[in-house]
Chains A and B, each alone.
Chain A
Amino acid sequence: MTESLPLNLPIDLTVNGERISATVPARQHLIDFLRETLSLTGSHIGCEHGVCGACSIRVNGAVVRGCLTLAVQCDGASVDTIEGLSDSGAIADLQSAFHERNALQCGFCTPGMLATGYDIVRRLPDADEARIRRELSGNICRCTGYHAIVDAIETVAAKRGAGA
């Protein structure tokens, strides 16, 4: 063990459209920075080893694991969490479909599911059920059995595809 204890580094980034400057420990994960420092508790910690997807967050438009990304890696980045995606209206149709189809039970995986779902409906408007199921393979839900989540995403993808 070296003598250098957690090294702190300054970062500047945009979170949900708001400019943030902070000094963060080099070892701090993005999810901890968002939850602990910024009190954006909508993104959840499920496994801390990149399997469950509960901490899925958009960084520069791509879905990443908040538990595998260091906060310092996000210097200069644009980060969107569930709070930002909710307030901007970007996923209002997905949220409404999840609500109506009851595509969530306990809600713990839901912010991550919505981040992935948003990615699916933008990238793959023609995705069928099997493709959606494959695309969701990075997000674990223990409550729903996935059927309702797949239905909700499929509905929104079809609507968005038709509207485009």
Chain B
Amino acid sequence: MSLSILDRPNSYIGRTVPRPNAKKLVQGRGTYVDDIKLPRMVHVAFVRSPYAHARILAIRSDAAQAAPGVVRIVTGAEMAAVCTPWVGVLGHMKGLKSAPQYALAVDRACWQGEAVVAVVAHSRAEAEDAAQLVEIDWEELFVVADMETALDPETPVIHPELGDNLAFRRELDVGDVEKGFAAADAIVEETYITGRHTGVCLEARSILADYQPADEQLVVYHSTQAPHMMQTIFAKHLDLPETNVRVICKDVGGAFGIKVHTYPDEMATVALAKMLRRPVKFIADRMESFVTDIHARDHRVKARMAVSKEGRILAIEADDRTGIGPYSVYPRTSAIEANQVVNLIGGPYTNQNYRCTANVVFQNKNVMCQYRAVGHPIACAVTEGLVDKAARAIGMDPAEFRRRNLIADDAYPYKAPTGMVYEGLSHHKSLDKLLELMQYDRLRAEQAALREKGIHRGIGLAAFIEVTNPSAMFYGVGGARISAQDGCTIRLDPTGVITVSIGVTEQGQGTEAIMAQIAASSVGVPMDKVRLITGDTEVTPYGGGTWASRGAGIGGEATLQAGRALRENILSVAGTMLQAAPQTLDIRAGIIVDADTGAERMKLEELGRVAYFRPDTLPRDCQPELMVTRHYVQKDYAFVFTNGLQASYLEVDTETGFVTLLDHWVVEDCGTIINPQLVDEQIRGGVVQGLGGALFEECLYSADGQMLNANMADYLVPMASEMPDIAIAHVVTPTQTSELGAKGVGEAGTAGAPAAVMNAINDALSPFGASVAAQPFTPERVLRALGKIR
């Protein structure tokens, strides 16, 4: 029996190793889609709807057609003949409905920014010039902008064939909520609002499609998180055999969930390549990114909590309303965020009396779908906001209140009222660690002393759980061809190098680095003898790609098992060559050694030389198998949850309403840590995205459905000077669902940061009896809360 990978000599697991693939990026020598040029390549620009809802009466493109460099102009009707529409529903989201969505609008546009006409030209500049010459006669239609009134009887229905504007409703009622409220010593309630915001990947959505008509081969260079999923979708809607479609994803300039969906303009680009029989490139510009990249988080949650004077949560009730735009996004659907809100409210706590309703409605705004930490920051803000309010109501310290309600560390597996089972969490250890890390008592004393001087600082805590390592229960059971399993192939090359190809993908989080660490450790070679291949449907094992914090936990386990299998195969050949029992041998640092003494027996390149070039010297029954594939899917739980807490320390200027972030702390438990630096940087980046939503980011819409700040000057994202350093510590509870024991970590930072900031602001404002509950917490909203402006 060989040692666990975690205990093997020279293991890279748990070590900070710089990312091998980052070297090219610091030289500007990555390959993003827009860096690729192909012979005969043309560019597409889109004429987009200026209205939130309008009928297309006529399209005149003669002048555009005659403009310099124009190759082809395509309308919705022509496009529909090549690219079939899609409907974003899932079988297990009962009642979820949506209407067919087309690559280019046919007859009417349903949101401002929807692509209507495609203009293909020799350069993007020429395509944009010509697009301005396309004239469309519009008939403006009613606009459903406000999600709160979308279901009212007097509100018109966007898709009459669906009967109403309700996309999805979920109702959950567990335990005895009425009894909980009846027994309460205090009841707190609030309406929490999270602003509609978006990912703002610095590399906008990018796609280059190359169609070879002779053999009907489609190659798509795509900035995506899920190459195999997109392969299926391109094939299905362009009527091509799936095996004729290859999706290549080289470097991706940020994704965060934005690049895991079906976008009409991208489908149109691929269809144009098929129609024109030549490569077509589409790179979204920043303005069109803002009105077409999926938005997220536009939720209003009315919630209340019952507590006893001893500080026990007795019941939680919540009502979530969210508007998702005119279509449920394909293929993941736009019901997932609300579903997650229902699943996650109250998540860290022992309360079992829980009622929640979520209504997901259609409206004439850009679509919403899954963005980093889907639902988590919303549910966390609701839960943690109520927890702080409840603690204040009964006069208890918020840390102590949490201690009395967090699920005990020895209570696992634990079944939440939602039916979700938590495998193993560490709330109490994490809370202890956090309070120590932030020096909670000292900070409280400092806060009190400064308050005497009229300086208003606040301390905010937020406990969270995170959905990671999803099983097929997330999408597969609903009929979507989205893979929860992933595969890894490892090949020993004659030089002693191992080549690892894997279905999970890299967007900068360090996937390739950690897979190299796992493969190196599992096989027994140094890091510089590992080469990684990701992002190519033609050469990697079939896999789901990157979403729901699955890369390390799912892809990592597949890599570990593939590495183990390859090592066994290598040792079998080595045993034959060395006339030794394979179990007496091991591979360490790229050398086959005697397992007991560590003495060198043979270098891997020597084994490679013999196996590949002199197999004649091996016995007849010795067939080296030096390339192996292993797959892994997590089947034990719907998700492997992680947990953690965050804390924010900030100062509120009560004259200007400005919030200055001073410190931020995170304690997180993602199980086995493969690369400590990469884990911490995932958390930091995630926290800052959460802070963006908390303080700055919001897609502002007018009452007639026009996005008002669709540019980077008006849509604010966090900048270096506004962000604090972020201190991080860990508790390690490995998952027992895999040998590796790793859970996900990519979304933890985003999940808890807004709640921590909200609680800190409200802590600072508490002497004034003021509080905020609508994100982003802008100076204006803070001043309104203080009654300084109306």
Contact = CB atoms under 8 A, between A and B. Distances in A.
Interface in B322-372: none
The prevalent SS among residues of A at the interface is loop
Given A82-B27, A83-B27, A49 B203 contact: no
Interface stretch (B248-256, B272-280, B575-583): B248-256
Contacts of A98: 22, 26
B26 A102 contact: no
B29 A99 contact: no
A125 interface: no
The prevalent SS among residues of B at the interface is loop
A15 interface: no
Given A107-B253, A143-B254, A147-B726, A102 B717 contact: no
A86 B723 contact: no
Given A83-B27, A110-B28, A147-B726, A47 B254 contact: no
A47 B715 CA distance: 12
Contact of B723 (A41, A107, A146): A146
B81 interface: no
A108 B203 contact: yes
Interface footprint category on B = 35 or more
B202 A46 contact: yes
Contacts, number: 174
Nearest to A94: B26
Nearest to A32: B125
B27 A137 contact: no
Given A133-B723, A142-B256, A102 B678 contact: yes
Nearest to A98: B26
B713 A105 contact: no
Interface string A58-88: 0000000000000000000000011100100
B26 A42 contact: no
A104 interface: yes
Contacts of B37: 39
Interface string B508-521: 11100000000000
B30 A107 contact: yes
A54 B712 CA distance: 13
Contact of A137 (B507, B711, B720): B720
Nearest to B283: A45
Contacts of B251: 106-107
Given A105-B510, A109-B202, A144 B681 contact: yes
Interface in A89-108: 95, 98-100, 102, 104-108
A49 B201 CA distance: 15
A44 B685 contact: no
B152 interface: no
A158 interface: no
Nearest to B713: A51
A110 B255 CA distance: 16
Contact of B32 (A36, A108, A132, A139): A108
Contact of B253 (A32, A43, A106, A150): A106
A100 B18 contact: yes
Contacts of B749: 145
Nearest to A150: B720
B202 to A, nearest CB: 4
Contacts of A132: 720
Contacts of A137: 719-721
B745 to A, nearest CB: 13
Contacts of A44: 28, 32, 202-203, 253
B677 A102 contact: yes
B202 A49 contact: no
Interface string B26-60: 11111010110100000000000000000000000
Nearest to B513: A102
A126 interface: no
A145 B666 CA distance: 14
A88 B93 CA distance: 57
A36 B283 CA distance: 14
A30 interface: no
Contacts of A108: 32, 201-203, 253-254
B548 interface: no
A104 B688 contact: no
A158 to B, nearest CB: 17
B721 A133 contact: yes
B677 A86 contact: no
A104 B508 contact: yes
Q: Identify which of B23, B25, B749 gathers the most chain A CB atoms within 10 Å of its CB.
A: B25
Contact of A142 (B200, B283, B678, B713): B200
Given A51-B712, A102-B678, A133-B723, A145 B687 contact: yes
A148 interface: yes
B285 A48 contact: yes
A44 B203 CA distance: 8
26 contacts: A27-B125, A39-B37, A41-B34, A41-B35, A44-B32, A46-B286, A51-B712, A52-B202, A82-B27, A82-B28, A86-B27, A95-B27, A99-B19, A100-B18, A102-B677, A106-B201, A106-B253, A108-B254, A110-B26, A111-B28, A142-B200, A142-B685, A144-B688, A145-B684, A145-B688, A145-B749
The 10 closest A-B pairs by CB, nearest first: A42-B28, A107-B25, A106-B508, A108-B253, A105-B508, A82-B28, A145-B688, A136-B720, A51-B712, A41-B35
Given A137-B719, A144-B684, A145-B688, 20 more contacts: A27-B125, A41-B35, A44-B28, A44-B32, A44-B202, A48-B285, A49-B712, A51-B713, A95-B27, A99-B26, A106-B253, A107-B26, A107-B508, A133-B720, A134-B720, A140-B202, A140-B717, A142-B202, A145-B749, A148-B684
Interface of A: 5, 25, 27, 32, 35-36, 39, 41-49, 51-52, 54, 81-83, 86, 95, 98-100, 102, 104-111, 114, 129-130, 132-134, 136-137, 139-150
